[in-house]
Chain A
């Protein structure tokens, strides 16, 4: 049981390049999320997927696209990277255990630098 895994761990891009951040969970969780973490800003929600086949925008979706490939995988794509997208990206998932109970797990993060 690997939990939530993210690849790559580190990435350097030039302005205008594209890339896809991969996330997978092996806990059979329904909902998955992408956050970014910037110094002084805390974590902010980019996109989420409440269930397989659905995606919704979060607080800061501009410049990103997502794909919920199947129940396990949720990818984040930067079509044309900008320096403002330099950040640490975290993938997360939750399982609704009971009506008022969730288990939430975060991946180890991807450190992205755009020059």
Chain B
């Protein structure tokens, strides 16, 4: 059974710092990996999607890497801002050919950026 672990569970840093969120998964037979952002009381917003054949994806100040063989991904946030405060979720989709299977999620990293 696939298990996804996110470290740390919570993080509080001053504004402007660069930071790294970690995600690990136990079964490397994945189709892709996604990072989401969730604001309190809200739904999930997709940040980055990395296919299993890719090593990294970038969007603005966000960069996500994937090392499928070691079962690890990192989300790098550059020059953090108070608006980045949210819970960040990592999720993997297992490989099944059709690609329609659901995601397995980690429990998230609760991030607070202090002004």
Q: With A42-B89, A42-B106, A42-B108 known to touch, is A102 a contact of B32 (CB < 8 Å)?
A: yes
How many chain B residues touch A (CB < 8 A): the figure is 25
Interface of A is mostly: strand
Task: Mark out the residues of chain B between 92 and 115 whose CB falls within 8 Å of any chain A CB in the assembled complex.
Answer: 98-108
A106: interface (CB < 8 Å) = yes
Distance (Å) between the CB of B105 and the closest chain A CB? 4
A94: interface (CB < 8 Å) = yes
B18: interface (CB < 8 Å) = no
B43: interface (CB < 8 Å) = yes
Distance (Å) between the CB of B24 and the closest chain A CB? 14
- Among B4, B49, B102, B103, the most chain A Cβ lie within 10 Å of the Cβ of B102
Stretch from A13-21, A30-38, A68-76, A78-86 contacting the other chain:
A30-38
Which residues does A use to contact B, with CB under 8 Å?
Answer: 4, 30-31, 33, 35, 40-45, 48, 50-51, 58-59, 90, 92, 94, 96, 100-109
